[in-house]
């Protein structure tokens, strides 16, 4: 009896474990149509490593490779499994349609290999960059992933048990194709875009009433005038905003209070789809919520007569996913009365916005751990780099987002290589680096494209009712707003000014989706850590596992094994 209970318990635990998402490997695809070969993976762009888990319905050998053209020639291959004499694993490469050769440098590290009655589960790791000439350099472009396997551990010709799939490993997005896709349309209709360099247009809208909760799983931009539509944001409104309105944004209308980000798109971005386990909740009890679509038109040539009908399509489903998505707005944004200018003629001026999640408990209780899976970074024309630091107990533990080559024309929601957990009390700091060498006047924080802002939208689950957590330095009561900009400041003045702004107390503002606001005046900007320099030295994992047993594959006809992966 007890044994049976224990067995059931173990079985349950095992099934749960198999189903649960591994935060270090959030991506999953089947490489074949019959769902016999499953690849999970995740990566750490800080340490420059990528981890794979290949699960194949076989108890024989399994092979995985990265191939320039989908065939075997030039492919970077690993073969492994669990045989009668233990585990085996090798890094190989194919020079042509001849015997693949064992790499001199074994660049892959076996982390584990397990077998159950039907399956082999092999977990292994390598660096993202190629460490020797026989390794495939993994980039954020689609590449050909190949696989093959046998029914026994003795490596022999695999017959039809092989295939290829194109995957973008570092920039993966699921694509579901439901039978009858339904979407909500959040668009403007024939807006006359004024002949001004910057124009923010806002439209408050109600969606067709959905009486039960639905999940938005995909956001597709509909861009009418690609040359002037710069970014779009869809916000939800607090319950007391009930009147529809359309016109220029931030003119003191009730809709200015709508600040719960639902969806975002920046120039250069594509359609975005949430991971399979999450969706953005819409309808149900919140069916009367109004939404505000904000479109930033950037019209530097001040063209006249442009009519625009851009917007977003929100694909939704009644099949609720496991978690609701939340989007947290962090960084530094122009606020009334704020003095925060970026001096001209400086090639790397930093601004900071901090967010201490310790304040969340004043608005939401209890505060769950927030699992961050994607980030959208946003600055304007002078922005060159954005880093989002993650601090715990006063120490930086990670980056939640990082773009060392920020490109204003290429903004997109970037999926993180693994899920990062924000715990109650953690701090977030958004740092932007600006280059104003080309400017002769100070750049202020503001809404225009020629003004600046420094934002990180963190996509996480489970959703909490907090929309915004931003900060700015407490410059009030300070006579001078930094260097005198009548003349272009010299470098030591600029450095002093940057340091001065950084050491001032930071005023933090945390806002919930009912617009209740908590302000605290004791925020601190902490030092951010240096970036890791990714090297090709064997990862720490390999030193953890120096005992892995390697099969001697020499002399086995690997040619036959892989020859027909074409
Ligand atoms: C593969 O093996 C797993 C675990 O034993 C099983 O649940 C699944 O149905 C198998 N898949 C196929 C397509 O046979
Ligand atoms: C900008 O700074 C450089 C020194 O880095 C100086 O040589 C140059 O004259 C400055 N530009 C202007 C317009 O003052
Ligand atoms: C700053 O921008 C100028 C041109 O606008 C460029 O020449 C310079 O290399 C940039 N400096 C840095 C550090 O990005
Ligand atoms: C610098 O400014 C000039 C004129 O203001 C502009 O034509 C040029 O493209 C700018 N260069 C860069 C790198 O932004
Ligand atoms: C968020 O607030 C709404 C009311 O504004 C409430 O109905 C909902 O239960 C809250 N959700 C959470 C997760 O606290
Ligand atoms: C939202 O705010 C209104 C007015 O400020 C208040 O009456 C209401 O109780 C608040 N709702 C929640 C869920 O906090
Ligand atoms: C700021 O003040 C709050 C209480 O108002 C306190 O809990 C928090 O620890 C303080 N933070 C810092 C960084 O001093
Ligand atoms: C591997 O096997 C080949 C032939 O069976 C043998 O010549 C070679 O010495 C073996 N290598 C190792 C490292 O055991």
Kindly report the pTM of this predicted structure.
Answer: 0.82
Residue 438 is assigned to a structural domain of this protein: yes
Q: Return the CATH number at 24.
A: 2.60.40.1210
The pLDDT score that the predictor gives to residue 435 is: 94
In the structure encoding, which two tokens stand for residue 449, read together? Answer: 């494209």
Domain boundary residue, one of 308, 324, 340: 324
Residue 197 is assigned to a structural domain of this protein: yes
Q: Are residues 437 and 296 in the same domain?
A: no
Decide if 500 is catalytic. Answer: no
Q: Are residues 208 and 88 in the same domain?
A: no
Residue 9 in this model has a pLDDT that exceeds 50: no
The pLDDT score that the predictor gives to residue 445 is: 85
Closest C-alpha residue for ligand 5 atom 11: 465
Report the range of poorest mean pLDDT among 43-57, 154-168, 459-473, 510-524: 154-168
> Which residue of the set 47, 157, 200, 485 is catalytic?
200
- DSSP alpha helix (H) spans, 28-155: none
Q: 443 CA to middle of ligand 4, Å?
A: 15
**Ligand located closest to 385 CA:** 3
Q: Are residues 320 and 426 in the same domain?
A: no
The pLDDT score that the predictor gives to residue 474 is: 87
Q: Are residues 445 and 485 in the same domain?
A: yes
Q: Which residues line ligand 2 (CB under 6 A)?
A: 345, 440, 488
Domain boundary residue, one of 324, 344, 373: 324
CA proximity to 387, closest of 429, 424, 420: 429
Instruction: Write the CA distances from 246 to 188, 233, 260, 263, 303, integer angstroms.
Output: 9, 15, 18, 19, 22
Q: 439 CA to middle of ligand 3, Å?
A: 11
**Ligand located closest to 552 CA:** 8
Residue 53 in this model has a pLDDT that exceeds 60: yes
* From 356, 361, 509, mutation site for ligand 7 pocket: most ligand atoms within 8 A of C-beta: 356
Q: Are residues 56 and 131 in the same domain?
A: yes
Q: Are residues 268 and 389 in the same domain?
A: no
The pLDDT score that the predictor gives to residue 17 is: 37
Q: Are residues 335 and 255 in the same domain?
A: no
Q: What is the pLDDT of residues 216-253, one digit of tens each?
A: 999 999 999 999 999 899 998 988 899 999 999 888 88
The pLDDT score that the predictor gives to residue 97 is: 66
In the structure encoding, which two tokens stand for residue 99, read together? Answer: 């015997």
Q: Return the CATH number at 270.
A: 2.60.120.310
Q: Are residues 294 and 409 in the same domain?
A: no
Q: Are residues 57 and 35 in the same domain?
A: yes
Q: 438 CA to middle of ligand 4, Å?
A: 6
Q: What is the pLDDT of residues 401-436, one digit of tens each?
A: 988 888 877 778 888 999 999 999 999 999 999 999
Ligand 5 atom with least separation from CA of 464 = 13
Look at residue 17 and give its three-state secondary structure.
helix
In the chain, how many H helices and how many E strands? Answer: 4, 37
Domain boundary residue, one of 135, 167, 199: 167
Find how far residue 465's CA is from the centre of its chain: 21
Segments forming the whole domain that contains residue 119: 19-167
Q: Return the CATH number at 451.
A: 2.60.120.230
Residue in the block written with tokens 């601004």: 351
Q: 345 CA to middle of ligand 3, Å?
A: 10
The pLDDT score that the predictor gives to residue 82 is: 94
Decide if 93 is catalytic. Answer: no
In the structure encoding, which two tokens stand for residue 466, read together? Answer: 């907090």
The pLDDT score that the predictor gives to residue 530 is: 80
Q: Are residues 369 and 286 in the same domain?
A: no
Ligand 3 atom with least separation from CA of 438 = 5
Output 44 or 411, whichever has higher pLDDT: 44
Q: Are residues 342 and 480 in the same domain?
A: yes
């Amino acid at each position: 009896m007890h044994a049976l209970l224990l067995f059931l318990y173990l079985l349950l635990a095992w099934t749960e474990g198999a189903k649960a998402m591994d935060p270090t490997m959030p991506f999953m695809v089947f490489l074949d149509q019959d769902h016999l070969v499953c690849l999970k993976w995740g990566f750490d762009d800080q340490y420059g490593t990528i981890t794979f888990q290949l699960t194949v319905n076989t108890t024989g050998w399994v092979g995985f490779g990265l191939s320039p053209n989908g065939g075997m020639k030039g492919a970077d291959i690993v073969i492994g499994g669990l045989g009668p004499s233990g585990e085996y694993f090798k890094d190989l490469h194919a020079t042509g349609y001849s015997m693949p050769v064992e790499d001199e440098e074994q660049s892959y590290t076996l982390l584990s290999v397990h077998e159950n009655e039907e399956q082999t589960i092999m977990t292994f790791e390598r660096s993202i960059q190629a460490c020797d000439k026989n390794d495939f350099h993994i980039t954020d472009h689609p590449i050909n992933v190949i696989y093959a396997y046998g029914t026994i551990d003795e490596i022999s010709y695999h017959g039809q048990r092989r295939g290829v799939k194109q995957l973008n490993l570092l920039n993966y997005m699921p694509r579901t194709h439901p039978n009858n896709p339904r979407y909500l349309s959040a668009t403007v209709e024939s807006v006359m875009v004024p002949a001004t360099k910057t124009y923010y247009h806002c439209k408050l809208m109600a969606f067709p009433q959905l009486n039960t909760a639905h999940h938005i799983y995909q956001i597709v931009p509909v861009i009418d005038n690609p040359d002037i539509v710069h970014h779009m944001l869809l916000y939800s409104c607090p319950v007391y905003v009930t009147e529809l309105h359309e016109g220029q944004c931030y003119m003191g209308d009730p809709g200015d209070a709508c600040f719960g980000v639902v969806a975002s798109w920046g120039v250069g971005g594509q359609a975005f789809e949430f991971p399979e386990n999450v969706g953005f909740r819409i309808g149900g009890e919140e069916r009367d919520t109004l939404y505000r679509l904000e479109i930033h038109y950037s019209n530097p040539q001040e063209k006249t007569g442009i009519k625009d009908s851009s917007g977003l399509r929100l694909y939704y489903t009644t099949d609720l996913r496991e978690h609701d998505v939340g989007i947290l707005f962090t960084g530094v944004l122009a606020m009334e009365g704020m003095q925060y200018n970026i001096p001209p003629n400086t090639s790397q001026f930093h601004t900071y916005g901090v967010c201490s999640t310790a304040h969340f408990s004043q608005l939401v209780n209890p505060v769950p751990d927030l699992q961050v899976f994607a980030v959208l970074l946003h600055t304007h024309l002078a922005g060159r780099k954005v880093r989002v630091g993650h601090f715990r107990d006063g120490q930086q533990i990670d980056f939640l987002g990082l773009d060392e080559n920020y490109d204003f024309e290429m903004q997109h929601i970037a999926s993180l290589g693994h899920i990062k957990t924000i715990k109650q009390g953690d701090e977030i700091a958004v740092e932007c680096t600006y280059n104003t060498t080309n400017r002769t006047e100070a750049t202020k924080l503001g809404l225009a494209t020629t003004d600046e802002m420094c934002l990180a939208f963190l996509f996480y689950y489970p959703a909490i009712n907090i929309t915004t957590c931003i900060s700015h330095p407490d410059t009030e009561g300070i006579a001078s707003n930094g260097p005198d900009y009548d003349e272009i400041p010299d470098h030591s003045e600029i450095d002093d000014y940057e340091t001065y702004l950084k050491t001032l107390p930071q005023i933090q503002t945390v806002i919930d989706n009912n617009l209740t606001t908590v302000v605290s005046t004791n925020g601190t900007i902490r030092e951010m850590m240096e970036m890791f320099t990714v090297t090709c030295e064997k990862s720490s994992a390999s030193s953890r596992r120096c005992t892995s047993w390697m099969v001697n594959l020499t002399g086995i006809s690997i040619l036959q094994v892989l020859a027909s992966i074409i």
